[in-house]
Amino acid sequence: MSYLEEGYTLRSWLTTHDHKRIAILYAIAITAFFFVGGAAATMIRLELATPQADLVQADTYNKLFTIHGVIMVWFFLIPSIPATLGNFLMPLMIGARDLAFPRLNLASWYIYVLGGLFTVATLIAGGVDTGWTFYTPYSTMFSNTNVILAAAGVFITGFSSILTGLNFIVTVHKMRAPGMTWFRLPLFVWAHYATSVILVLATPVLAMTLVLIAAERLLHVGVFDPALGGDPLLFQHLFWFYSHPAVYIMVLPAMGVASEIITCFARKRVFGYRFMAYAILGIATIGFLVWGHHMFVSGQSMYAGMVFSVLSFMVAVPSAIKVFNWTATLYKGSITFSAPMLYALGFVGLFMIGGMTGLILATLALDVHLTDTYFVVAHFHYIMVGGSVMAYLGGIHYWWPKATGRMYPEMWGRVAAIVIFVGFNLTFFPQYLLGYYGMPRRYHVYPPEFTVLNVLSSAGASILAIGYLLPIGYLAWSLFRGKKAGANPWDARGLEWTTPSPPPKDNFAVAPTVTEEPYAYSPERDAEMAGGRIAQP
Amino acid sequence: MSVAHRIAEQFETREQQREADSLGTWVFLATELMFFGPLFLAYFYGRTHYGEGFAVASGRTHVWLGTANTALLLTSSLTMALAVRASWIGRRGVTLLLALTAALGVAFLAVKGIEYRKEWDEALVPPFRFVFAGEHARAVEVFYWLYFLITGLHALHLTIGIGLVLWLALRARRGDFGPHYHAPVEMTGLYWHFVDVLWIFLYPLIYLLERWR
């Protein structure tokens, strides 16, 4: 009996302790928020299709990009891969029956929903206009919008992140099956382990910073506003101490997903497995020490700026190791361009462009020209959307048969992957040029000479929107009409593929014993296996 | 066998469960530490910006009450540690030691209350009742704002700790704990020591700044 058949009532879902069901609950909730955030983005791109203000005025525009940022960062990207794919797969991949603390896992979902309700309340109450960064003193003294309500939503959701992170750390340390040594862990698990460390150590800093903002706004006493004896730089340091590592919360799990997919569809073991694991830890560690590169022009010490610049260049080293190793994994592989593989390859390419432009921004002198322009917007969308969302969708397709027991329609999967890739590049590549030519971010109007590039970007956004809507349609269809998947439709390695699809509630009938490396792909073994269960798409 | 003695279904062995609970507590304490981080950073910002002003403000604190509280809390950590050990080796007296720990915690809160009351009378409670003339007014206001925020949060953590310890005392009286099962006592002990150690750092920062100079 699969985990889906353990009960059909709403109550059986809302009171479940099963990590797989909680993953589904999370997937539904974050998908809803993705489309709310996406609606705000649609309005933004519509407004920017012409140089003058025609759809919305400045105030509304400010609220649009703020709610877009708040929802996409905290209610979609941060929980996206960890809380859905991570929740579903971590116990399966290490050979455990569940996470270490199943009740805490359910609690984290309820906390997420509560935070989400605050955010919805913010929207209904009229929105918030500070930008997702809540910069002081604007947020504490001048904004006339619902700052406290929005901050409360983010504050609450932070605790769901912390609980997920705590759960994953303990699970990886204490729940591994016999024989599952640290260097037999799939890179997906390594990535989530590093992500969890960031979640647990960085999120509370944001939480307390938001408390200080709310108190300063409410009581007119505090440490951020110069008029009250405070310093806005203190806020920026605290905010980016969380929010820069937050980028790694979004992209490390994406790297984990890409590693699993690329190795499977190249039919080759991951090149330099140990270096991949060390690179993940390296990124998580150095990622904690680069936050000052968001503040090069803020008035922080020049020497601090130099140190942060050097450290930002250093974080590119482990990132580059990963890109090289993915490429080397493909070399002489037997590659299938299935839908998950298209997403994963798209991830690698877009992550590389996003990463390289990140180096441009990490260069002090160039950043003076590019700071607060569309170049920055394009850069982080390449990482967060081109990188994380591509990988998330790749993972959803790759493990869809495992989670649902059904195959998605392969042709539609590929079409959507290509539409998203094209739409994404058309949306965001022109923004690099816009930024380079000097168009500042966060304005609803712009000089007419920027029109062509903005129209291209808005046109790309409409293609991207279609690309994101497609999977909703065909994945929903496949739930009822998709071909039955079988335990291991990709002939993939990894413990999760040894369970039936969908897996039973306790995952494994007998606790598995692990005897080999995680990526024992080889042409010889494929040849042996040929003659039956390989369903090459 | 009561419910507490059973192994949760996701674990293979009791040892595995105990280790997971313990590691989970440590990770939680790491989160807690980072949660207080911004307040410490804000304090160091204030101290470097308003060296003189922070010293003046620190001079207005009630150092003897703070010292008495330090003694109370350190003693409570001792009784807590003894309670953990007693439950570990199955000695009697766990209930008494836990009750003593909670009582010392309550005493700390009472002293803190007296201190807050005095500060209210001296009009040192920004933003509700704050009067301070002179060139250091702004610095003193920032100092006392942080003081109330940090000690208030600390008191909140202590209150939660007292609740946990009292609940453990009730369970101990029922005979729940022994050499085979004492994880809740151990975990609450870790939390209690964390709240204590936090105070050890707050004590010199708040009370001894001026005296040290």
B5 has a pLDDT exceeding 90: no
Residue type for A473, please? G
> What's residue B210's pLDDT?
75
Average pLDDT estimate for B154-164? 98
Using one digit for the tens of pLDDT, what is the confidence trace for A174-187? 999 999 999 999 99
Q: How many CA atoms lie within 13 A of A310 on its CB side?
A: 5
Question: According to the model, what pLDDT value does residue A239 have?
Answer: 98
**Alpha-carbon distances, residue A462 vs A19, A49, A193, B18 (angstroms):** 36, 11, 36, 53
**pLDDT at position B211:** 72
Does residue B4 register a pLDDT over 90?
no
Tokens representing residue A217 in the block: 């706004």
pLDDT bracket for residue B2 (50, 70, 90): very low
Which residues of chain A make contact with B28, given a CB cutoff of 8 A?
Answer: 166
Reported as a single tens digit per residue, the pLDDT across A205-218 is 999 999 999 999 99
B57 touches chain A (CB under 8 A): no
Q: Closest residue of B to A227, CA-based?
A: B138
Distance separating alpha carbons of residues A509 and A93, to the nearest angstrom: 15
pLDDT confidence of residue A529: 67
d(CA A355, CA A375): 13
Asked if A504 has any chain B CB less than 8 Å from its own CB, the reply is no
- Percentage above 70 pLDDT, chain B: 97
Question: ipTM score of the complex?
Answer: 0.94
Residues of B in contact with A216 (CB under 8 A): none
- Type of residue found at A474: Y
CB A446, CB A381: distance < 8 Å: no
H/E element, A485: none
Find the residue in B nearest to A225 (Cα): B142
* pLDDT tier for residue B72 given thresholds of 50, 70 and 90: very high
Assign A186 to helix, strand or coil.
Answer: coil
d(CA B167, CA B183) in angstroms, rounded, equals: 14
The whole-number pLDDT of residue B6 equals 72
Structure confidence at residue A325 (pLDDT): 97
Nearby residues of A136 by Cβ (< 8 Å), 6 or more positions away: A213, A216, A224, A225, A230, A232, A235
Beta-bridge mates of residue A2: A504
Which residues, given as ranges, of chain A have pLDDT below 50? Answer: 532-537
Tell me the pLDDT band of B212, cut-offs 50, 70 and 90: low
Chain B interface includes A219 (CB < 8 A): yes
Q: Which residues pair with A504 in a beta bridge?
A: A2
Residues of A in contact with B39 (CB under 8 A): 208
What is residue B1's predicted lDDT score, i.e. its pLDDT? 39
Q: Name the amino acid, one letter, at A498.
A: T
Residue with tokens 């380079």: A436
Residue A537: what pLDDT? 42
Which of A105, A136, A174 is most worth mutating to test chain B (most B CB atoms within 10 A of its CB)? A174
- Decide if A63 contacts A129 (C-beta within 8 A): yes
CA dihedral A343, A344, A347, A349 (to 10 degrees): -110
Residues B10, A238: C-beta atoms closer than 8 Å: no
- Residue labelled with tokens 């790694």: A248
pLDDT at A534: 47
Total-model pTM: 0.95
Between CA A400 and CA A394 the distance in angstroms is 10
Instruction: Read off the pLDDT band of B3 (50, 70, 90).
Output: very low
- Asked whether residue B91 carries a pLDDT value surpassing 50, the answer given is yes
Spell out which residues of chain A touch residue B7, defining contact as CB-CB under 8 Å.
none
Residues near A51 by Cβ (< 8 Å), separated by ≥ 6? Answer: A445, A446, A447, A448, A450, A451, A454
CB contact under 8 A, A174 and B20: yes
Interface of A with B in 175-194 (CB under 8 A): 175
Q: From chain A, pick out residues whose CB is under 8 angstroms from the CB of B50.
A: 229
Q: Summarize pLDDT for B93-111 with one digit per residue, the tens.
A: 999 999 999 999 999 999 9
Neighbours of B135 (CB within 10 A): 9
**Burial class of residue A349 (count of CB atoms within 10 Å of its CB; 0-12, 13-18, 19+):** middle
| C-alpha distance from residue A431 to each of A104, A363, A455, A458 (Å) | 42, 19, 11, 10
Interchain CB contact of A102 with B (< 8 Å): yes
- Flag whether residue A107 sits within 8 Å of chain B, measured between CB atoms: no
Taking a C-beta distance cutoff of 8 angstroms, is the pair A78, A119 a contact?
no
